[in-house]
Amino acid sequence: MAEEENESNQRQSEEIEAMAAIYGEEWCVIDENAKIFCIRVTDFMDDPKWTLCLQVMLPSEYPGTAPPVYQLNAPWLKGHERAELSNSLEEIYVQNIGECILYQWVEKIRDALIQKSQRTEPDDTEVKNKTEEEEVEFEDEPILDNPPENPVKTLDLKISETPPETEELPPVAHGVPITDRRSTFQAHVAPVVCPEQVKLVLSKLYENKKIASATHNIYAYRIFCEDKQTFLQDCEDDGETAAGGRLLHLMEILNVKNVLVVVSRWYGGILLGPDRFKHINNCARNILVEKNFTNTPDEPPKTSGGKKKVKKDKKKNEH
């Protein structure tokens, strides 16, 4: 029981960090100890017509056997629209029991707001006069006896191996560095369609003396196998304990595929604590968005409910 609780806490922490990295200022911590969060969702980023605040509380059993408790807060949301949106969120939960679903919920709400914006124009008078916010809590949902397993495979990669010469080296892009208290983080990204290309990119990056001298080179990749409809994915901490798994979790939530992300960290002598994970994820998210890897998926994100394989070397903890 304690092991299951620890796993739930770990998965919740990874999801919270990923959501904060994805949504930035739209993501708000209401009560960190009680795990209550709020996210502002709009139809469009620049000039939103419709806005809704999703408030969630993560119970200790989430994501294993219980859904988030949620409230949909918007002065205009009522009646049929509220019921329809609530049903959509609950359907996502039932179809993904045991999985982290906050990203899917937010994007489902955004899709609904976009559709509403395309159908109608907001009534300013109604929005101003209607100040009372309605609240709906999550009702008990049936738990499936045999939730579907997500087809995910992992593969061991050793950077020291000689890369194959038959595969073509994909183009490698480098992100804008982030510096905090003398530590610098920089992300690198490349499209990959097979493990051989992953090895090629890693070898190419290590030819750069600056990258090779980084204290840590954390990486994760996801490759979609069309024939088997499965993901081949793996990650590497390179001594930054748990960083690889968190990076892979971010990529799962963003539902990116056929991509390798490497985040280099040059340690500056000052411990950053949990902030280092925030910088790693922000670096990765920024370059994935910049290079349009987040615009390709046509399906809802699928995440692995099982434990991810994380390869580590002799370096441990933060330094």
Q: On the CB side of 121, how many CA atoms lie within 13 Å of its CA?
A: 2
Mean pLDDT of 61-77: 88
CATH number, residue 228: 3.30.230.30
Supply the pLDDT for residue 144: 30
Q: Are residue 169 and residue 49 in the same domain, yes or no?
A: no
In this structure, is residue 182 part of a structural domain? yes
Question: Could you give the CA distance from residue 40 to residue 197 in angstroms, rounded to a whole number?
Answer: 39
Which of 98, 129, 160 is the last residue before a domain boundary? 129
More confident residue, 225 or 313: 225
Residue 306 has pLDDT above 80, yes or no: no
Among the residue ranges 43-57, 258-272, 301-315, the one predicted with the least confidence is 301-315
For residue 285, give Cα distances in angstroms to 25, 51, 80, 233, 294.
15, 24, 36, 17, 9
Structure tokens at 193: 């369609």
Residue 2 has pLDDT above 60, yes or no: yes
Q: Are residue 48 and residue 9 in the same domain, yes or no?
A: yes
Q: Are residue 124 and residue 187 in the same domain, yes or no?
A: no
Q: Which residues span the domain enclosing 164?
A: 152-311
More confident residue, 50 or 48: 50
Mean pLDDT of 194-208: 92
Residue 44 has pLDDT above 80, yes or no: no
Q: Are residue 104 and residue 171 in the same domain, yes or no?
A: no
Q: Are residue 157 and residue 125 in the same domain, yes or no?
A: no
> Per the structure, how many domains does the chain have?
2
Contact in structure between 192 and 258 (CB atoms under 8 Å): yes
Q: List, in sequence order, every residue forming a beta bridge with 311; answer none if it has no partner.
A: 236
Residue 103 has pLDDT above 80, yes or no: yes
More confident residue, 23 or 172: 172
Q: Are residue 125 and residue 221 in the same domain, yes or no?
A: no
Q: Are residue 66 and residue 210 in the same domain, yes or no?
A: no
Phi, psi dihedral angles at 102 (to 5 degrees): -60, -40
Q: Give tens-digit pLDDT for 220-278.
A: 999 998 888 888 999 998 888 888 988 998 888 888 999 999 999 998 888 888 888 88
- Which range of 119-123, 151-155, 264-268 scores highest in mean pLDDT? It is 264-268
Q: On the CB side of 20, how many CA atoms lie within 13 Å of its CA?
A: 19
CATH number, residue 51: 3.10.110.10
Q: Are residue 37 and residue 107 in the same domain, yes or no?
A: yes
